[in-house]
């Protein structure tokens, strides 16, 4: 998790700049991105609140599998694709999506992704007092794989927007640590309507610990994102691990554990977290000759 040098790393594709580079998004693109992201998601939840019976008759009761809920979850990705296409065209979108191919990062980060995140949920569950009573939540391995597959194409899709667009744009003006705090707060607040409606996964959770957890997770994810050269793929894998249905229920205690982990990660990466020198600031990689 420690600082990884990128001075001669071709994967960084000249990402460090505070001004708009040729073929990249302007910093002002953050505004339409957020307007579209919040506009789509919150408008859908408003429809669910105003016309619950009509929608339930046509699409079924609200749940984590409800088509309108899924559409709301996809709002950051739809916003990201919209602003990239509007500013850089189809060619820019292709180069932006090429960031899905970035996967190289230090072994400590891979250990955290594969082992550290589940350990945080285990510790949180122990603090909650339900770890001993944990039972495998599925009857068969097939059911578990189906649930994991669904979660893989749900929450992680958000990362096309949050880390794909918003974080690089924020890091043009703010050091990674402060950009993480801002993005984590935005990310947490964006989920608020889901906490107000029965039937959603979030309706059983406490909102304040969730926002604290979102900020902490954002702080942890930022140095991983920068160390990987701006990988959208690793951000999606991180998000999937947060939603992995195999982990024990740890709400709201997992937020405290993530906050503690965020402090450790910040200390370990303090040289890069408080300087924009090695921060990824390009949304669209430069086109190679």
Q: What confidence tens digit (pLDDT) does each residue in 160-173 have?
A: 999 999 999 999 99
Query: What does the pLDDT look like over 80-139, one tens digit per residue?
Result: 999 999 999 999 999 999 999 999 999 999 999 999 999 999 999 999 999 999 999 999
Asked if residue 286 is part of any domain, the answer here is no
Asked if residue 2 is part of any domain, the answer here is no
Asked if residue 289 is part of any domain, the answer here is no
Asked if residue 285 is part of any domain, the answer here is no
Asked if residue 287 is part of any domain, the answer here is no
- The mean of the pLDDT values for the chain is 92
DSSP 136: -
Asked if residue 280 is part of any domain, the answer here is no
pTM: predicted TM-score of the whole model, two decimal places: 0.91
Q: Which domain holds residue 38?
A: 10-273
d(CA 183, CA 76): 13
pLDDT of residue 198: 85
Q: Which residues of 184-221 are buried (b: 16+ CB within 10 A; e: fewer)?
A: bebbbebbebbbeeebbebeebebebbbbbbbbbbbbb
In sequence order, what are the residues at sequence separation of 6 or more whose Cβ sits closer than 8 angstroms to the Cβ of residue 274? Answer: 175, 176, 177
Tokens matching residue 187: 């990310």
- Residue 27 contacts residue 173 (beta carbons within 8 Å): yes
d(CA 12, CA 32): 26
d(CA 241, CA 206): 20
Asked if residue 279 is part of any domain, the answer here is no
- Residue 219 contacts residue 179 (beta carbons within 8 Å): no
Helices (H) and strands (E) in the chain, counts: 14, 0
- Look-up of token digits 């950009």: 179
- Count of structural domains, the chain: 1
Asked if residue 1 is part of any domain, the answer here is no
In total, the chain counts a number of residues equal to 289
């Amino acid at each position: 998790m420690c600082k990884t040098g990128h001075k001669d790393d071709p994967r960084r594709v000249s990402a460090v700049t505070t001004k708009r580079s040729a073929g990249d998004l302007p910093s002002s693109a953050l505004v339409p991105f957020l307007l579209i992201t919040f506009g789509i998601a919150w408008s859908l939840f408003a429809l669910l609140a105003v016309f619950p019976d009509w929608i339930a008759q046509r699409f079924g009761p609200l749940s984590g599998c409800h088509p309108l809920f899924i559409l709301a979850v996809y709002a950051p990705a739809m916003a990201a694709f919209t602003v990239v296409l509007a500013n850089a065209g189809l060619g820019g979108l292709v180069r932006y999506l090429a960031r899905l191919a970035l996967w190289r990062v230090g072994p400590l980060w891979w250990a955290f992704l594969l082992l550290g995140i589940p350990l945080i949920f285990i510790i949180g569950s122990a603090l909650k007092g339900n770890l001993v009573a944990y039972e495998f939540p599925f009857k068969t391995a097939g059911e578990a794989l189906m649930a994991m597959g669904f979660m893989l194409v749900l929450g992680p899709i958000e990362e096309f927007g949050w880390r794909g667009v918003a974080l690089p744009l924020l890091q043009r003006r703010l050091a990674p640590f402060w950009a993480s705090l801002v993005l984590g707060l935005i990310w947490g607040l964006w989920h608020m309507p889901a906490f107000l409606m029965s039937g959603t996964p979030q309706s059983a959770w406490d909102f304040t610990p969730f926002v604290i957890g979102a900020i902490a997770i954002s702080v942890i994810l930022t140095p991983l994102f920068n160390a990987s050269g701006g990988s959208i793929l690793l951000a999606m894998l991180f998000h999937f691990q947060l939603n992995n249905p195999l982990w024990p229920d740890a709400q709201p205690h997992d937020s405290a554990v993530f906050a503690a982990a965020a402090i450790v990660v910040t200390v370990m990466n303090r040289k890069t977290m408080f300087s924009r020198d090695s921060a990824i600031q390009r949304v669209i990689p430069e086109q190679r000759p």
